[in-house]
Structure 1
């Protein structure tokens, strides 16, 4: 093939214009191929300075050889890692060693440095600038958010103080009313008693005069009232109200003030990536088939089949009424595991290390199977684990609901340690439905989004790795159940329990396709292997449908 028409745009020799250039004449300022160098050097009386093409613009000062001061060190011994002259090369100390020209080697090094400089200047440095800008923006958003939080707490505190002041004032008014009634009653009795006392003083004075007058006529007409006054007025029993202040518990006040969600800080070592043309093109595009193909139907030994997950193209784990079973893609059973409680596992997943994990709502545990031995990995209190998935980073994502208020959340674990809680959106509203018994299958996408098929909300809820809501996907007659993702970051969701369908949406929540022409009855769960082959378990038939959709 004529190199002048090569698709790689090879730089050609300036003389023959046929072969790729290798050298450059500094004297004549022309580029030469290997064949033309010898012709060029012999065709003129000029003192040509021919250098490798890559070193044409390189300024280099050779050092003097220490062993041969009259010579310059134009070479480097790779074995001894020292500069040498042409005399040194013939020395027995360097026989058999790899010798390179310093100029050529430096030229190549300069090219490498130029590439490093270009990457630093055009890719790495701008990325750090972008990251710094994002962090600054995140800080500003956090400052605003925390200011709003503080303002909201202050406002709630003011509301509480206002309500407390209102209640206290009402109680004081009640006390004043009771006091007024009590005092009025006593004043009335006091007035009546004082009136009778005044009347008695008059009677005593009149009787004293009769006795002192010794007048029988006055004594004969005097009418005694002692019997009347012997009936004393009724005594008013004073029973004042008692205020019994209750002990104020900080927990009660905190509950009235309102909850504050847990702090969630995650460090993702692979969070920032440098996008290059090579990395973007390394992932082959797999378009969706108009008509999906049923490749195989795998019969299992379960009476009822609930879960399936593909750890590799050679291993398929299932979960059902007979515990957990490991199958080959051809349906050969390799292993059977019985749960610790004896019941079937609610959900299963396989970790990055190839260990089987399952949830047990009855025991409130997440368990790991290690060489047929079951170990309790996570023990929950007040919360019931439901669905689980393993992440690219090796963490576990677990959906769970509260026993009392039925609120749901997603928790990220690294082993038994809790790393992140995802429950509320930026406005403090619950991300997931509060129907504790509803399905909430979970999967991590290739872009690290966390996808939950919230059956109670009839929606697919997708948050980013930091737990921030990205979108909710809903449609008419949509009852999501199982969920999984493929190599293209597409999200696959099973829906319509009796007449099984699998919806496919992209990573931003846009509808792409529906797999519906394959008979899928009671499809509860979904899994995709490394080749983007879809596995769909059927609940009643205990069969697994193996489907090609790309």
Structure 2
């Protein structure tokens, strides 16, 4: 069995014969793991090595089955082999190398992937959030509708109860009136009955006495009782209930209008990257001040290395120990102090969009990137063995960019993380040459993302600011401007950007900050009495904050109108 493959047919590095293949040198036609790239390039420095992430799998030729295609016919739109080129089949046709076509295809896919992640996917997230909000609003509004119907029903119940009570009161009043009349009539009849009983008793006594004088004097008048009392017949009221007809009742009570769902495909708009950039560029244009001015100076009382703006009023700083301190910018007072989880000195600090502090642990025993959430320190990323972090920055998409270098000092790369997942490595240019100088110089490299999504890195070893686009393709290298304020070589260390896509870099030995535009053109220097500027950051109002390496001070400088 070939020692360069596993039992499953996975390819092994041609150099160490143990690690899996991760890159391919097109110049030497060898497969390498990432750890062996530096050794391979150094071992044959005379060659122009073209290193790509993985070995290309050349397609088979459709005309010559045994051949592999190394070229691509731009007229026939098919891969072709050397035999095809030697034949007359593609004579006079314009052709390109398969590797060029592969690069173009990969770049297109990368751009589409970026568009998917940064524009289409967030748009769908917004749509999902909008639908969810509409559902919540719908639940509330239907609840309000049901409550209104219930309230209207209760109003009807109250009115019906009032009507029932009114009718019942009228019934009681009619009943009382008629009963009173009948009671009076009854009392009159009872009085006559009593009178008749008395008369009958008196007559009986006289008749039984046989007293002729009394009998002859008796005046008994039956006629007064012959006329009977009148008969009173009460007439009861009748209740005539209204008809309960469903349609009429519904009409009188109230009715619902019909509901509907409108499907409007034009309601949502895709926020394309171009539109996004146009929106960004539509922010107010600010002109550079003729004379930048120092707004305030914060004296921290300890040697500083790095800083990061938490807000326009607060700023995080770190120095030569394990402590990171939060200061009030306006008052210059210390607000909070925290220490690293390991007790090591943080190599760099940054602040997320949500205001959480991120710091890197540089020491060999740790090799982590950590985040402070709710006063708790959490490990975000653990770097691969043999790699250490130099600098970090957050991106507009929420990703994290980390500059890291190998322990042996031979390699440097930028890695993009989404959460703890490594999703992009930026290390070589299109010719396979390293984008960044190896190892650690006097000061570590610094990194930031520009508003146009370019990635900007200070490379002190190369005396340059290296700028690549979002896909990792080199855009330009800025190597300083002459005459320099102190006529020293360009020594870029700290870096930041602003709302105008300006790139600002600290020039340590010329005691100034360079301002260049997004295409690398020099605009002007900021001096303002700055001494050995090291770390930089800007707030949302485009104020510049400068750590002075030789002092314990942070300067706040206004340079835009």
TM-score, normalising length from structure 1?
Answer: 0.52
SS at 1:392 equivalent: coil
Residue 144 of structure 1 corresponds to none
Q: Deviation digits for residues 125-151 of structure 1, max 9, x if unmatched?
A: xxxxxxxxxxxxxxxxxxxxxxxx99x
1:487 pairs with 2:335 = no
Q: How many residues of Structure 1 are paired with residues of Structure 2 in the alignment?
A: 307
1:500 pairs with 2:511 = yes
Structure whose alpha-carbon radius of gyration is higher = 2
Kindly indicate whether the alpha-carbon contact (under 8 Å) linking 1:402 and 1:436 is maintained by their aligned counterparts in 2: no
Query: Which of 519, 537, 548 is residue 538 of structure 1 equivalent to?
Result: 548
Residue 306 of structure 1 corresponds to 305
Q: Deviation digits for residues 163-222 of structure 1, max 9, x if unmatched?
A: xxxxxxxxxxxxxxxxxxxxxxxxxxxxxxxxxxxxxxxxxxxxxxxxxxxxxxxxxxxx
Residue 479 of structure 2 corresponds to 474
Kindly indicate whether the alpha-carbon contact (under 8 Å) linking 1:439 and 1:456 is maintained by their aligned counterparts in 2: no
CA positional deviation for 1:430? 0.2
CA positional deviation for 1:327? 1.4
Between the aligned partners of 2:358 and 2:277, the Cα distance in structure 1 is 38
CA positional deviation for 1:306? 0.8
1:448 pairs with 2:448 = no
Kindly indicate whether the alpha-carbon contact (under 8 Å) linking 2:449 and 2:456 is maintained by their aligned counterparts in 1: yes
Between the aligned partners of 2:37 and 2:505, the Cα distance in structure 1 is 44
Residue 392 of structure 1 corresponds to 396
SS at 1:504 equivalent: strand
CA positional deviation for 1:340? 2.0
CA positional deviation for 1:156? 3.2
1:408 pairs with 2:412 = yes
Residue 156 of structure 1 corresponds to 28
1:433 pairs with 2:445 = no
SS at 2:28 equivalent: helix
Higher relative contact order (CA 8 A, sep 6+): 2
Kindly indicate whether the alpha-carbon contact (under 8 Å) linking 1:386 and 1:399 is maintained by their aligned counterparts in 2: yes
SS at 1:456 equivalent: helix
Structure 1 pair 156–356 and aligned structure 2 pair: CA distance change class (3 A) = same
Residue 523 of structure 2 corresponds to 512
Residue 288 of structure 2 corresponds to 288
Gaps in structure 2 of 5+ consecutive residues: 1-22, 42-48, 55-105, 120-271, 483-488
Structure 1 pair 370–254 and aligned structure 2 pair: CA distance change class (3 A) = closer
CA positional deviation for 1:261? 4.3
Structure 1 pair 539–413 and aligned structure 2 pair: CA distance change class (3 A) = same
Query: Which of 499, 514, 523 is residue 533 of structure 2 equivalent to?
Result: 523
Between the aligned partners of 2:307 and 2:347, the Cα distance in structure 1 is 11
Between the aligned partners of 2:37 and 2:284, the Cα distance in structure 1 is 58
Between the aligned partners of 1:383 and 1:461, the Cα distance in structure 2 is 21
SS at 1:341 equivalent: coil
Query: Which of 350, 370, 386 is residue 382 of structure 1 equivalent to?
Result: 386
Matches within 5 A, 1:71-90: none
TM-score, normalising length from structure 2?
Answer: 0.51
CA positional deviation for 1:279? 3.6
SS at 2:290 equivalent: coil
Between the aligned partners of 1:405 and 1:478, the Cα distance in structure 2 is 22
Between the aligned partners of 2:440 and 2:38, the Cα distance in structure 1 is 25
CA RMSD of aligned residues (A): 3.1
CA positional deviation for 1:346? 1.2
Q: Deviation digits for residues 327-351 of structure 1, max 9, x if unmatched?
A: 1212122211111232321110011
CA positional deviation for 1:283? 1.1
SS at 2:462 equivalent: coil
Kindly indicate whether the alpha-carbon contact (under 8 Å) linking 2:296 and 2:556 is maintained by their aligned counterparts in 1: yes
Structure 1 pair 279–360 and aligned structure 2 pair: CA distance change class (3 A) = closer
Kindly indicate whether the alpha-carbon contact (under 8 Å) linking 1:406 and 1:436 is maintained by their aligned counterparts in 2: no
Between the aligned partners of 2:555 and 2:452, the Cα distance in structure 1 is 27
CA positional deviation for 1:255? 8.2
Between the aligned partners of 2:37 and 2:521, the Cα distance in structure 1 is 45
CA positional deviation for 1:496? 2.9
Between the aligned partners of 2:308 and 2:382, the Cα distance in structure 1 is 23
Between the aligned partners of 2:464 and 2:377, the Cα distance in structure 1 is 34
Between the aligned partners of 1:480 and 1:472, the Cα distance in structure 2 is 12
Q: Deviation digits for residues 39-59 of structure 1, max 9, x if unmatched?
A: xxxxxxxxxxxxxxxxxxxxx
Report which stretch shifted further, 270-279 or 529-538. 270-279
Between the aligned partners of 1:496 and 1:404, the Cα distance in structure 2 is 26
Between the aligned partners of 1:443 and 1:379, the Cα distance in structure 2 is 21
Kindly indicate whether the alpha-carbon contact (under 8 Å) linking 2:389 and 2:404 is maintained by their aligned counterparts in 1: yes
Between the aligned partners of 2:279 and 2:37, the Cα distance in structure 1 is 55
SS at 2:461 equivalent: coil
Query: Which of 88, 113, 118 is residue 270 of structure 1 equivalent to?
Result: 118
Kindly indicate whether the alpha-carbon contact (under 8 Å) linking 2:463 and 2:490 is maintained by their aligned counterparts in 1: yes
Q: Deviation digits for residues 343-372 of structure 1, max 9, x if unmatched?
A: 321110011221111111102111111223
Report which stretch shifted further, 322-331 or 386-395. 322-331
Gaps in structure 1 of 5+ consecutive residues: 1-148, 161-248
Between the aligned partners of 2:325 and 2:541, the Cα distance in structure 1 is 22
SS at 1:525 equivalent: strand
